[in-house]
């Protein structure tokens, strides 16, 4: 037949309290995850801006090094400087170009990190 339990030793109430606690805990976990993602995004955007600035700076450095090399080559042609001066200036230009490539790489890496975080291309 029919069985109706009038007193269940507060099992129903305990289940409600447990469900509310679980929901609160899930909301807290979700909020913490949201904060972590926002912090990560803020950090990656700062990296992207810094890399963009480094690209500009290193490009100016390459341009200055190219001009320095042009001047040193002309001085060498006129007999005013030595081949060592030309070689040292060439090395400075090479380093400036390496720095420019690294800056571009850092920018692309920062951009890829943001794209991975937001799930779409920028």
What are the domain boundaries of the chain? 40-118
Cα–Cα distances in Å, from 45 out to 48, 50, 110, 113, 117? 5, 9, 8, 9, 11
Rounded Cα–Cα distance for residues 103 and 95 (Å):
12
pLDDT of residue 8: 65
Q: What does pTM read for this prediction?
A: 0.72
pLDDT at 30 over 80: yes
pLDDT of residue 17: 86
Q: 40-118 belongs to which CATH class?
A: mainly alpha
Q: What is the mean pLDDT of residues 14-23?
A: 89
């Amino acid at each position: 037949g029919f069985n109706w339990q009038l007193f269940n030793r507060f099992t129903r109430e305990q289940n409600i309290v447990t469900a509310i606690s679980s929901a609160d805990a899930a909301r807290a976990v979700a909020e913490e995850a949201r904060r972590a993602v926002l912090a990560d995004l803020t950090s990656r955007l700062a990296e992207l801006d810094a890399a963009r600035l480094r690209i500009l700076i290193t490009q100016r450095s390459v341009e200055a090094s190219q001009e320095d090399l042009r001047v040193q080559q002309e001085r060498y042609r006129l007999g005013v400087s030595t081949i060592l001066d030309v070689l040292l200036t060439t090395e400075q230009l090479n380093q400036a170009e390496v720095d420019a490539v690294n800056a571009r790489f850092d920018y692309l890496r920062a951009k890829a990190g943001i794209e991975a975080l937001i799930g779409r291309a920028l």
